[in-house]
Amino acid sequence: MNDKPLIVDNVSLNFGSVVVFEKLSLAVERGEFVAVVGPSGCGKTTLLNLFSQFLKPATGSVISAAQVRMVYQHDSLFPWQTVSENIALGLRRLTEEKVRDRLLKEMLELIRLEGFANHYPHQLSGGMRQRVELGRALIGNSDILLLDEPFSSLDYLTRIRMRNELARMLIQLPRTVVLVTHDIEEAAQLADRIVVLSDRPARVCAEFRVALARPRELTHPEVVTTVHKILAELGLEHERGKVVALQ
Amino acid sequence: MPGKTASNKERFLPLLVLIIALLIWTGIAVLRVFPDSVFPSPLDVAKGFIEELRTGRLLDDIVASLFRVTTGFGLAVLLGVPVGLWLGNHARARAAFLPLINFFRSLSPLAWIPFAILWFGIGDLPTVFLIFMAVFFPLVLATVAAVANIPSVYFRVARDYGFSDTEMLMKVTLPAIAPQVITSLRVTAGLAWLVVVAAEMIAGRAGLGFAIWDARNGLRMDLLVCGMIVIGVIGIILDRILLQLTKIPSVRWGYER
């Protein structure tokens, strides 16, 4: 067993003349939930694409030593397949029909869509669709879950609900998770470690740890403090101490 | 329920319009706005219809026209969709061939009539050729556009879950383009039906288009109108049949979202 199933080591990558990463290093531990935040276009999604082996670095090495599943920003469910057919994609290697059916049924229960097995994605709400996406990525024997702004297209309340859903699912099906997000609250509410990336070429400019069990209250003091720290790091808010000093 | 009554009423509306149209037609015929010889009454047409049915000529003509449309349309679909898929997936080939395909798409298939007769004589072949020319190019373009519109994330997902190349085609590309292709099948089938009538008028020895032309030559305006009505009704039926394709559950997403 590898203790750090996801590692980017000294990685450089550029798209033409745009340098995205220059000697970036980051390791994710087994079972850890890491959130990656940073300015728009700093290469957060590119980092996920490296982890999923979709992109190769120019120099440096990337290790993803386990079965990786990705949940995308936009609707990535196959609209021509039903909810259960979409989720069953995650079970393609499983040939035993009985086991497949059982796992599928359990997953539908976990994502609370038991009555929707034969519905098509366009017949579901945005939140339900995203639960199906999570179901597809979590079913079977995947080890690593890469989340690319999975809730960004949802409204605020649904987004908060989905964070709790994700936390609940991960208790039942623990995974190593990397979440890329613009939503600082989301990062603070969900992650064990929040990695703040700088502008391009991106480097890790800060890391914050939140040692609270999930699911967490959005208004828990430690979550709120972490949100403040991240915002301050991104230059979007004065640090608490400094605000007090100004008064 | 009030809603249900409303929909029942709506169902009767087309029938009402039809009856009014028939009444106006009868009125013009009875009032002799035009001479009898060039404006048959609905009764004349009905009589002509029965006559055509009795002699079996109408059925023969319908079979002849439908055979040509089915053959020409079928060939165009069998070739057009794969060509569209190939062009959709190969940017260079697309850049090379698209102007030519657009050119032929813009050219009325009827412009080919002289060549069709010179090359294939009179009968089924020239008509099948003309229908093929009418359907093939628009269908290729529609397929190319549909392939180009497939969100790339579907291929990412397919790759993530280990799809083979064949699966990419059969389980991603084809279902993803199905709604758009079905829509264009409906459009091009209508086009094929328009072309068959025109082609048979000139290059046919049987078929509904030929029947109309023959009726005109024999100054049988009742049979001419009878032919027109049959052509219109079959056109609607063809579209209704293809409309059923849009009701397949796995393509509904293309029309509902």
pLDDT single digits (tens) A113-155: 999 999 999 999 988 999 999 999 999 888 899 999 999 888 8
Which residues of chain B from 165 to 204 reach within 8 Å of chain A, CB to CB? Answer: 172, 175-176, 178
Interchain proximity B257–A90, CB inside 8 Å: no
Q: Which residues contact B148 (CB under 8 A, 6 or more apart)?
A: B88
Q: Give me the sign of the Cα torsion angle A68, A71, A76, A79.
A: positive
- Is A166 part of a structural domain of the chain? no
Q: Does residue A130 form part of some domain? A: no
A121 close contact with B: CB closer than 8 A: yes
CA distance B91 to chain A (A): 21
Decide: helix, strand or coil at residue B1: coil
Q: Enumerate the H helices of chain A as residue ranges.
A: 44-51, 83-88, 97-110, 126-138, 156-172, 184-190, 221-233, 240-246
pLDDT at A243: 47
Would residue A30 count as lying in a domain? yes
Any bridge partners for residue A26, and if so which?
Answer: A8
Q: Residue A47's domain is classified under what CATH number?
A: 3.40.50.300
Find all residues with CB under 8 Å of B76, minimum gap 6, and list them: B131, B132, B134, B135, B136, B139, B188, B192
Any domain includes A4: yes
Domain of residue A21, residue span: 1-66+185-247
Establish if B152 touches chain A: CB-CB under 8 angstroms.
no
Q: Max CA-CA distance within chain A? A: 67
Cβ B175–A76 below 8 Å, yes or no?
A: no
A-chain residues near B156 (CB < 8 A)? 54, 70, 72, 76
ipTM of the complex in this document: 0.86
Instruction: Tell me, yes or no, whether A20 lies in a domain.
Output: yes
Per DSSP, A141 falls in state S
A89 interaction partners in chain B (CB closer than 8 Å)? 157, 161
With a cut of 70, which residues of chain A have pLDDT below it?
1-2, 239-247
**Residues of chain A positioned with their CB less than 8 A from the CB of B157:** 72, 76, 78, 89
| Both structure tokens of A111 | 């994502």
Instruction: Report the candidate in A46, A17, A39, A246 with the shortest Cα–Cα distance to residue A146.
Output: A46
- Inspect the interface and report whether the beta carbons of A92 and B151 lie closer than 8 Å: no
- Asked whether residue A221 is assigned to any structural domain, the reply reads yes
Number of domains in chain A: 1
3-state secondary structure of A199: coil
The angle, 0 to 180 degrees and rounded to 10, between the axes of the packed helices B42-55 and B221-243 is 80
Can you give the pLDDT at residue A247? 38
Per-residue pLDDT tens for A149-177? 999 888 899 899 899 989 998 998 999 99
Task: Give the Cα separation of B92 and A116 in Å (integer).
Answer: 43
Residue A76 lies in a domain: no
Task: Please answer whether residues B101 and B42 qualify as being in contact, where contact means their C-beta atoms are separated by less than 8 angstroms.
Answer: no
The tens place of each residue's pLDDT in chain B, 257 residues long, gives 444 556 777 888 989 999 999 999 999 999 988 888 889 999 999 999 999 999 999 999 999 999 999 999 999 999 999 999 999 999 999 999 999 999 999 999 989 999 999 999 888 999 999 999 999 999 999 999 999 999 999 999 999 898 999 999 999 999 999 999 999 999 999 999 999 999 998 887 889 999 999 999 988 999 999 999 999 999 999 999 999 999 999 999 999 86
Amino acid at B164: S
Is A141 inside a domain boundary?
no
Torsion sign over Cα A64, A67, A72, A76: positive
- pLDDT the model gives residue A74: 73
* pLDDT at A1 (0 to 100): 52
Q: Where do we find the tokens 């890391």? A: A207
Residue A239: the pLDDT is 63
**Percent of chain A whose predicted confidence (pLDDT) is above 90:** 55
Q: Mind telling me how many Å the CA of B228 is from chain A's nearest CA?
A: 40
| CB-nearest partner of B256 from A68, A76, A122 | A122
Beta A18-28 vs A6-15: how paired, if at all?
antiparallel
CA separation, residue A49 to residues A24, A155, A183, A203, B48 (Å): 14, 26, 20, 16, 72
- Flag if B251 and A80 touch (Cβ within 8 Å): yes
What does the pLDDT read at residue A242?
A: 52
Contacts B251 to A, Cβ<8 Å: 80
